[in-house]
Protein backbone atom coordinates (compact mmCIF):
# COMPACT_ATOMS: atom_id res chain seq x y z
CA UNK A 1 0.00 0.00 0.00
CA UNK A 2 1.39 3.37 -0.96
CA UNK A 3 -1.47 5.62 -0.16
CA UNK A 4 0.48 6.65 2.94
CA UNK A 5 2.15 9.40 1.00
CA UNK A 6 0.17 11.67 -1.27
CA UNK A 7 2.00 14.15 -3.44
CA UNK A 8 1.48 17.86 -3.22
CA UNK A 9 0.16 17.85 -6.76
CA UNK A 10 -2.43 15.18 -6.04
CA UNK A 11 -3.57 16.97 -2.91
CA UNK A 12 -4.00 20.19 -4.79
CA UNK A 13 -6.06 18.48 -7.44
CA UNK A 14 -8.21 16.80 -4.81
CA UNK A 15 -8.72 20.11 -3.03
CA UNK A 16 -9.77 21.65 -6.33
CA UNK A 17 -12.36 18.91 -6.85
CA UNK A 18 -13.68 19.35 -3.32
CA UNK A 19 -13.95 23.12 -3.72
CA UNK A 20 -15.55 22.90 -7.12
CA UNK A 21 -18.08 20.16 -6.38
CA UNK A 22 -18.85 20.67 -2.72
CA UNK A 23 -17.69 23.89 -1.07
CA UNK A 24 -19.12 25.88 -3.97
CA UNK A 25 -22.63 24.50 -3.46
CA UNK A 26 -22.57 25.62 0.16
CA UNK A 27 -21.15 22.66 2.08
CA UNK A 28 -19.62 23.72 5.42
CA UNK A 29 -16.75 21.28 5.56
CA UNK A 30 -15.35 18.30 3.62
CA UNK A 31 -12.78 15.90 5.01
CA UNK A 32 -11.04 12.95 3.44
CA UNK A 33 -9.76 10.46 5.97
CA UNK A 34 -8.34 6.97 5.80
CA UNK A 35 -9.89 4.03 7.65
CA UNK A 36 -7.27 4.34 10.38
CA UNK A 37 -8.53 7.82 11.26
CA UNK A 38 -5.76 9.87 9.62
CA UNK A 39 -6.69 13.06 7.84
CA UNK A 40 -5.75 13.21 4.18
CA UNK A 41 -7.16 16.63 3.56
CA UNK A 42 -9.77 18.96 5.02
CA UNK A 43 -11.48 21.88 3.35
CA UNK A 44 -14.04 24.24 4.80
CA UNK A 45 -15.99 27.32 3.85
CA UNK A 46 -13.82 29.48 6.10
CA UNK A 47 -16.36 29.87 8.89
CA UNK A 48 -16.74 26.43 10.42
CA UNK A 49 -14.47 25.47 13.30
CA UNK A 50 -14.24 21.77 13.97
CA UNK A 51 -11.57 19.84 15.80
CA UNK A 52 -10.80 17.81 12.68
CA UNK A 53 -8.40 15.36 14.31
CA UNK A 54 -10.87 14.16 16.92
CA UNK A 55 -13.55 14.25 14.29
CA UNK A 56 -11.51 11.99 12.00
CA UNK A 57 -10.87 9.45 14.78
CA UNK A 58 -14.57 9.28 15.63
CA UNK A 59 -15.69 9.21 12.01
CA UNK A 60 -13.37 6.32 11.15
CA UNK A 61 -14.65 4.44 14.19
CA UNK A 62 -18.24 5.17 13.28
CA UNK A 63 -17.80 4.03 9.71
CA UNK A 64 -15.93 0.89 10.74
CA UNK A 65 -18.66 0.01 13.23
CA UNK A 66 -21.47 0.37 10.70
CA UNK A 67 -19.44 -1.59 8.16
CA UNK A 68 -18.87 -4.42 10.64
CA UNK A 69 -22.60 -4.46 11.44
CA UNK A 70 -23.41 -4.71 7.73
CA UNK A 71 -21.17 -7.77 7.42
CA UNK A 72 -22.82 -9.35 10.46
CA UNK A 73 -26.24 -9.19 8.83
CA UNK A 74 -24.85 -10.42 5.52
CA UNK A 75 -24.69 -7.13 3.64
CA UNK A 76 -21.65 -6.12 1.59
CA UNK A 77 -22.04 -2.63 3.00
CA UNK A 78 -24.69 -0.07 3.85
CA UNK A 79 -24.36 2.31 0.98
CA UNK A 80 -25.81 5.35 2.70
CA UNK A 81 -24.42 6.62 5.96
CA UNK A 82 -25.99 9.85 6.95
CA UNK A 83 -26.60 11.68 10.23
CA UNK A 84 -29.25 14.35 10.34
CA UNK A 85 -29.25 17.19 12.86
CA UNK A 86 -31.14 20.46 13.21
CA UNK A 87 -28.40 22.66 11.86
CA UNK A 88 -25.74 20.27 10.72
CA UNK A 89 -25.85 17.03 8.74
CA UNK A 90 -23.03 14.60 8.14
CA UNK A 91 -22.74 12.41 5.07
CA UNK A 92 -20.20 9.60 4.66
CA UNK A 93 -19.12 7.96 1.45
CA UNK A 94 -16.46 5.45 0.64
CA UNK A 95 -13.90 6.48 -1.98
CA UNK A 96 -12.23 3.08 -1.98
CA UNK A 97 -11.22 0.37 0.52
CA UNK A 98 -8.98 2.81 2.37
CA UNK A 99 -10.49 6.26 2.04
CA UNK A 100 -13.65 8.02 3.16
CA UNK A 101 -15.16 11.31 2.11
CA UNK A 102 -17.10 13.08 4.83
CA UNK A 103 -19.28 16.08 4.15
CA UNK A 104 -20.87 18.42 6.69
CA UNK A 105 -23.66 20.61 5.47
CA UNK A 106 -26.53 22.73 6.74
CA UNK A 107 -30.28 22.69 6.22
CA UNK A 108 -30.27 24.77 3.03
CA UNK A 109 -28.88 21.85 0.98
CA UNK A 110 -31.05 18.83 0.23
CA UNK A 111 -29.62 15.36 0.69
CA UNK A 112 -30.41 14.51 -2.92
CA UNK A 113 -28.51 17.47 -4.30
CA UNK A 114 -25.61 16.79 -2.00
CA UNK A 115 -25.41 13.14 -3.02
CA UNK A 116 -25.40 14.08 -6.66
CA UNK A 117 -22.40 16.31 -6.12
CA UNK A 118 -20.66 13.81 -3.87
CA UNK A 119 -20.94 11.21 -6.62
CA UNK A 120 -19.35 13.59 -9.11
CA UNK A 121 -16.53 14.40 -6.70
CA UNK A 122 -15.97 10.69 -6.02
CA UNK A 123 -15.73 9.89 -9.71
CA UNK A 124 -13.14 12.58 -10.25
CA UNK A 125 -11.10 11.60 -7.21
CA UNK A 126 -11.12 7.93 -8.19
CA UNK A 127 -10.00 8.85 -11.68
CA UNK A 128 -7.16 10.92 -10.26
CA UNK A 129 -6.18 8.06 -7.98
CA UNK A 130 -6.25 5.52 -10.77
CA UNK A 131 -4.05 7.69 -12.95
CA UNK A 132 -1.30 8.23 -10.40
CA UNK B 1 -0.78 3.19 8.68
CA UNK B 2 0.85 6.53 9.16
CA UNK B 3 -0.03 9.30 6.82
CA UNK B 4 2.31 11.96 5.48
CA UNK B 5 0.95 15.19 4.05
CA UNK B 6 3.75 16.54 1.87
CA UNK B 7 2.08 19.88 1.29
CA UNK B 8 1.45 20.85 4.87
CA UNK B 9 4.39 18.77 6.08
CA UNK B 10 2.42 16.89 8.69
CA UNK B 11 3.09 13.29 9.67
CA UNK B 12 0.30 11.41 11.49
CA UNK B 13 1.22 8.27 13.35
CA UNK B 14 -1.16 5.91 15.19
CA UNK B 15 -0.10 4.43 18.52
CA UNK B 16 -2.47 2.05 20.33
CA UNK B 17 -2.41 1.11 24.03
CA UNK B 18 -3.54 -2.52 24.23
CA UNK B 19 -3.99 -4.89 27.16
CA UNK B 20 -6.39 -6.68 29.49
CA UNK B 21 -9.43 -4.98 30.99
CA UNK B 22 -8.75 -2.60 33.90
CA UNK B 23 -5.02 -2.83 33.26
CA UNK B 24 -4.59 0.95 33.15
CA UNK B 25 -4.62 1.91 29.45
CA UNK B 26 -7.05 4.78 29.87
CA UNK B 27 -5.15 5.88 33.00
CA UNK B 28 -1.95 6.13 30.91
CA UNK B 29 -3.64 8.52 28.48
CA UNK B 30 -5.25 10.50 31.30
CA UNK B 31 -1.87 11.00 32.91
CA UNK B 32 -0.34 12.10 29.61
CA UNK B 33 -3.26 14.45 29.04
CA UNK B 34 -2.69 16.08 32.46
CA UNK B 35 1.09 16.27 32.33
CA UNK B 36 1.68 17.36 28.75
CA UNK B 37 -1.15 19.82 28.29
CA UNK B 38 1.13 22.07 26.21
CA UNK B 39 1.47 19.39 23.57
CA UNK B 40 -2.21 18.56 23.43
CA UNK B 41 -4.35 20.92 21.49
CA UNK B 42 -7.70 19.23 21.78
CA UNK B 43 -9.84 17.42 24.30
CA UNK B 44 -9.28 13.76 25.01
CA UNK B 45 -12.14 11.78 23.48
CA UNK B 46 -13.35 8.86 25.61
CA UNK B 47 -16.09 6.53 24.45
CA UNK B 48 -16.93 4.72 27.67
CA UNK B 49 -19.67 3.05 29.68
CA UNK B 50 -21.28 4.58 32.75
CA UNK B 51 -18.90 2.56 34.86
CA UNK B 52 -15.90 4.27 33.24
CA UNK B 53 -14.87 1.23 31.24
CA UNK B 54 -13.71 1.91 27.71
CA UNK B 55 -16.48 0.99 25.29
CA UNK B 56 -14.82 1.79 21.96
CA UNK B 57 -11.63 3.79 22.39
CA UNK B 58 -9.93 6.78 23.97
CA UNK B 59 -8.26 9.21 21.60
CA UNK B 60 -5.61 11.77 22.44
CA UNK B 61 -3.69 13.67 19.74
CA UNK B 62 -0.18 14.45 20.92
CA UNK B 63 1.92 17.09 19.16
CA UNK B 64 5.63 16.33 19.02
CA UNK B 65 6.58 19.57 17.30
CA UNK B 66 8.82 19.63 14.26
CA UNK B 67 11.23 16.88 13.33
CA UNK B 68 13.30 17.41 10.19
CA UNK B 69 10.87 20.05 9.01
CA UNK B 70 7.82 17.84 9.49
CA UNK B 71 5.19 18.41 12.13
CA UNK B 72 4.74 15.13 13.96
CA UNK B 73 1.30 14.27 15.31
CA UNK B 74 1.07 11.15 17.42
CA UNK B 75 -2.50 9.88 17.61
CA UNK B 76 -2.82 7.94 20.86
CA UNK B 77 -5.63 5.38 21.16
CA UNK B 78 -6.65 2.80 23.74
CA UNK B 79 -8.70 -0.32 23.06
CA UNK B 80 -11.46 -1.62 25.33
CA UNK B 81 -9.86 -4.40 27.37
CA UNK B 82 -12.95 -6.38 28.37
CA UNK B 83 -12.99 -9.84 26.78
CA UNK B 84 -16.36 -9.32 25.09
CA UNK B 85 -15.16 -6.34 23.07
CA UNK B 86 -12.75 -8.06 20.70
CA UNK B 87 -14.65 -6.96 17.59
CA UNK B 88 -14.13 -3.36 18.66
CA UNK B 89 -10.49 -3.94 19.57
CA UNK B 90 -9.88 -5.13 16.03
CA UNK B 91 -11.43 -1.97 14.59
CA UNK B 92 -9.18 0.24 16.70
CA UNK B 93 -6.10 -1.69 15.56
CA UNK B 94 -6.79 -0.79 11.94
CA UNK B 95 -3.75 1.03 10.58
CA UNK B 96 -1.77 0.86 13.82
CA UNK B 97 1.88 1.98 13.60
CA UNK B 98 3.04 1.27 17.15
CA UNK B 99 1.76 -0.53 20.25
CA UNK B 100 2.11 -0.31 24.00
CA UNK B 101 1.04 -3.48 25.76
CA UNK B 102 -0.17 -2.48 29.22
CA UNK B 103 0.00 -5.56 31.43
CA UNK B 104 -1.51 -5.61 34.89
CA UNK B 105 1.31 -6.66 37.19
CA UNK B 106 -0.96 -8.06 39.90
CA UNK B 107 -0.48 -11.77 40.53
CA UNK B 108 -4.18 -12.37 40.02
CA UNK B 109 -3.94 -11.01 36.49
CA UNK B 110 -1.20 -13.30 35.23
CA UNK B 111 -3.41 -15.44 32.96
CA UNK B 112 -5.35 -12.45 31.63
CA UNK B 113 -2.19 -10.71 30.48
CA UNK B 114 -1.05 -13.76 28.56
CA UNK B 115 -4.45 -14.28 26.97
CA UNK B 116 -4.67 -10.64 25.94
CA UNK B 117 -1.21 -10.71 24.38
CA UNK B 118 -2.06 -13.88 22.44
CA UNK B 119 -5.20 -12.24 21.14
CA UNK B 120 -3.23 -9.19 20.08
CA UNK B 121 -0.99 -11.53 18.09
CA UNK B 122 -4.08 -13.01 16.37
CA UNK B 123 -5.73 -9.65 15.78
CA UNK B 124 -2.61 -8.26 14.12
CA UNK B 125 -2.47 -11.26 11.81
CA UNK B 126 -5.94 -10.26 10.66
CA UNK B 127 -4.35 -7.09 9.27
CA UNK B 128 -1.31 -8.96 7.92
CA UNK B 129 0.82 -7.34 10.59
CA UNK B 130 3.16 -9.25 12.86
CA UNK B 131 3.59 -8.74 16.57
CA UNK B 132 7.26 -9.57 16.00
CA UNK B 133 7.72 -6.74 13.52
CA UNK B 134 5.53 -3.88 14.66
CA UNK B 135 7.07 -1.40 17.12
CA UNK B 136 6.01 -2.55 20.57
CA UNK B 137 6.75 -1.53 24.15
CA UNK B 138 5.78 -3.58 27.22
CA UNK B 139 4.52 -1.84 30.30
CA UNK B 140 4.11 -3.68 33.62
CA UNK B 141 1.60 -1.42 35.27
CA UNK B 142 0.40 -1.00 38.86
CA UNK B 143 3.75 -1.75 40.52
CA UNK B 144 2.77 0.86 43.13
CA UNK B 145 0.48 -1.83 44.62
CA UNK B 146 3.59 -3.51 46.06
CA UNK B 147 3.66 -0.82 48.70
CA UNK B 148 0.12 -1.70 49.71
CA UNK B 149 0.90 -5.35 50.31
CA UNK B 150 -1.03 -6.49 47.24
CA UNK B 151 0.73 -9.42 45.53
CA UNK B 152 2.48 -8.13 42.41
CA UNK B 153 4.42 -10.37 40.05
CA UNK B 154 8.20 -9.93 40.03
CA UNK B 155 9.34 -8.26 36.83
CA UNK B 156 11.39 -11.33 35.93
CA UNK B 157 8.20 -13.40 35.86
CA UNK B 158 6.38 -10.84 33.72
CA UNK B 159 9.32 -10.72 31.36
CA UNK B 160 9.30 -14.50 31.06
CA UNK B 161 5.52 -14.66 30.55
CA UNK B 162 5.19 -11.84 28.07
CA UNK B 163 8.52 -10.79 26.67
CA UNK B 164 10.73 -13.87 26.38
CA UNK B 165 10.07 -14.25 22.66
CA UNK B 166 9.31 -10.67 21.74
CA UNK B 167 12.31 -9.10 23.51
CA UNK B 168 10.97 -5.57 23.21
CA UNK B 169 11.75 -2.63 25.53
CA UNK B 170 9.83 -2.92 28.80
CA UNK B 171 9.04 -0.71 31.78
CA UNK B 172 7.63 -1.19 35.23
CA UNK B 173 5.12 1.58 35.66
CA UNK B 174 2.30 3.11 37.60
CA UNK B 175 -0.30 4.96 35.59
CA UNK B 176 -1.68 6.16 38.92
CA UNK B 177 1.48 8.00 40.03
CA UNK B 178 2.85 8.49 36.52
CA UNK B 179 5.97 6.45 37.21
CA UNK B 180 7.50 5.53 33.81
CA UNK B 181 4.40 6.65 31.92
CA UNK B 182 6.32 9.36 30.00
CA UNK B 183 9.23 6.94 29.49
CA UNK B 184 6.90 4.37 27.94
CA UNK B 185 5.45 7.03 25.67
CA UNK B 186 8.84 8.36 24.60
CA UNK B 187 10.08 4.88 23.82
CA UNK B 188 7.12 3.92 21.66
CA UNK B 189 7.19 7.25 19.83
CA UNK B 190 10.86 6.89 18.97
CA UNK B 191 10.54 3.25 17.81
CA UNK B 192 7.46 4.06 15.78
CA UNK B 193 8.97 7.09 14.11
CA UNK B 194 12.05 5.10 13.13
CA UNK B 195 9.89 2.35 11.63
CA UNK B 196 7.65 4.81 9.76
CA UNK B 197 10.71 6.53 8.33
CA UNK B 198 12.02 3.22 7.07
CA UNK B 199 8.69 2.32 5.51
CA UNK B 200 7.83 5.60 3.86
CA UNK B 201 10.83 7.79 3.22
N1 LIG C 1 -2.96 1.16 41.98
C2 LIG C 1 -3.04 1.42 40.67
N3 LIG C 1 -4.24 1.48 40.07
C4 LIG C 1 -4.28 1.74 38.75
C5 LIG C 1 -3.11 1.96 37.98
N6 LIG C 1 -3.47 2.19 36.72
C7 LIG C 1 -4.82 2.12 36.68
N8 LIG C 1 -5.31 1.86 37.90
C9 LIG C 1 -6.73 1.70 38.28
O10 LIG C 1 -7.25 0.57 37.61
C11 LIG C 1 -8.60 0.79 37.20
C12 LIG C 1 -8.75 0.58 35.70
O13 LIG C 1 -7.95 1.57 35.00
P14 LIG C 1 -8.26 1.99 33.51
O15 LIG C 1 -7.20 2.94 33.11
O16 LIG C 1 -9.67 2.43 33.36
O17 LIG C 1 -8.07 0.59 32.79
P18 LIG C 1 -8.28 0.23 31.26
O19 LIG C 1 -7.13 -0.62 30.88
O20 LIG C 1 -8.49 1.45 30.45
O21 LIG C 1 -9.62 -0.65 31.33
P22 LIG C 1 -10.65 -0.97 30.12
O23 LIG C 1 -11.04 0.32 29.54
O24 LIG C 1 -11.79 -1.69 30.72
O25 LIG C 1 -9.90 -1.84 29.17
C26 LIG C 1 -8.94 2.20 37.62
O27 LIG C 1 -9.62 2.14 38.84
C28 LIG C 1 -7.58 2.86 37.81
O29 LIG C 1 -7.60 3.89 38.76
C30 LIG C 1 -1.84 1.91 38.66
O31 LIG C 1 -0.77 2.09 38.09
N32 LIG C 1 -1.88 1.62 40.01
MG1 LIG D 1 -9.98 2.02 29.22
Mind listing the pLDDT tens digit of every residue in chain B (201 residues)? 678 888 888 899 999 999 999 999 999 999 999 999 999 988 899 999 888 999 999 999 999 999 888 899 999 999 999 999 999 999 999 999 999 999 999 999 999 999 999 999 999 999 999 999 999 999 999 999 999 999 999 999 999 999 999 999 999 999 999 999 999 999 999 999 999 888 766
Q: Which residues line ligand 1 (CB under 6 A)?
A: B 19, 21-27, 53-54, 78, 80-82, 141-142, 144-145, 174-176
Q: How is A2-22 classified by DSSP, letter by letter?
A: -TTEE-HHHHHHHHHHHIIII
Question: Which ranges of chain A would DSSP assign to H, the alpha helix?
Answer: 8-18, 52-72, 111-130
> Structural domain boundaries of chain A?
8-130
Q: Which residues of B touch A34 (CB under 8 A)?
A: 1, 3, 95
The residue length of chain B stands at 201
Residues of chain A numbered 56-95 and touching chain B (CB < 8 Å): 57-58, 60-61, 64-65, 68
Q: Do the interacting molecules here have an ipTM over 0.90?
A: no
Mutate to test the interface with B, among A38, A66, A99 (most CBs of B within 10 A): A38
Pocket test for ligand 1, best of B17, B26, B31, B51 (most atoms within 8 A of CB): B26
C-alpha count within 13 angstroms, C-beta hemisphere, residue B69 = 5
Closest CA–CA distance from residue B101 to any residue of chain A (Å):
19
Q: Which residues of A touch B4 (CB under 8 A)?
A: 4-6
Give the pLDDT confidence score for residue A2 in this predicted structure: 41
Q: How is chain B classified by DSSP, letter by letter?
A: --EEETTTTEEEEEEEEE-STTSSHHHHHHHHHHHTGGG--SPPEEEE-TTS-EEEEEEEEEEEEEETTEEEEEEEEE---SGGGHHHHHHHHTT--EEEEEEE-BGGGHHHHHHHHHHHHHHHHHTT--TTTS-EEEEEE-GGGGGGT--B--HHHHHHHHHTTT---EEE-BTTTTBTHHHHHHHHHHHHHHHHHHHH-
Residue B92 phi/psi, 5-degree rounding, is: -70, -30
Distance in angstroms (rounded) separating the CA atoms of residues B20 and B22:
6
Degrees (nearest 5) of the Cα angle B161, B165, B168?
A: 90
The structure's pTM equals 0.91
Could you tell me which CATH number the domain at A8-130 has?
3.30.450.30
CATH fold of the domain at B3-200:
Rossmann fold (3.40.50)
Strand partners, B77: B16, B59
Give the pLDDT confidence score for residue A1 in this predicted structure: 33
Give the pLDDT confidence score for residue B1 in this predicted structure: 63
Interchain CB distance below 8 Å, B3 and A40: yes
Amino acid sequence: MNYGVVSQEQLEKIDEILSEQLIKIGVDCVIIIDMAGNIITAKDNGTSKYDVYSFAALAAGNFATVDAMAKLVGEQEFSLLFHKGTDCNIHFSKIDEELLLITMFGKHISLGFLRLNVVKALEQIRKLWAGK
Amino acid sequence: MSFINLREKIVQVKVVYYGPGRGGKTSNLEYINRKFSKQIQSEMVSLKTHGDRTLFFDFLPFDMGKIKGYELKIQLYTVPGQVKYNATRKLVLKGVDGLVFVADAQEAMREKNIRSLNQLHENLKGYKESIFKIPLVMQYNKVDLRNQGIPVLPTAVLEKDLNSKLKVPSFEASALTGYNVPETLKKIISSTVVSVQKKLL
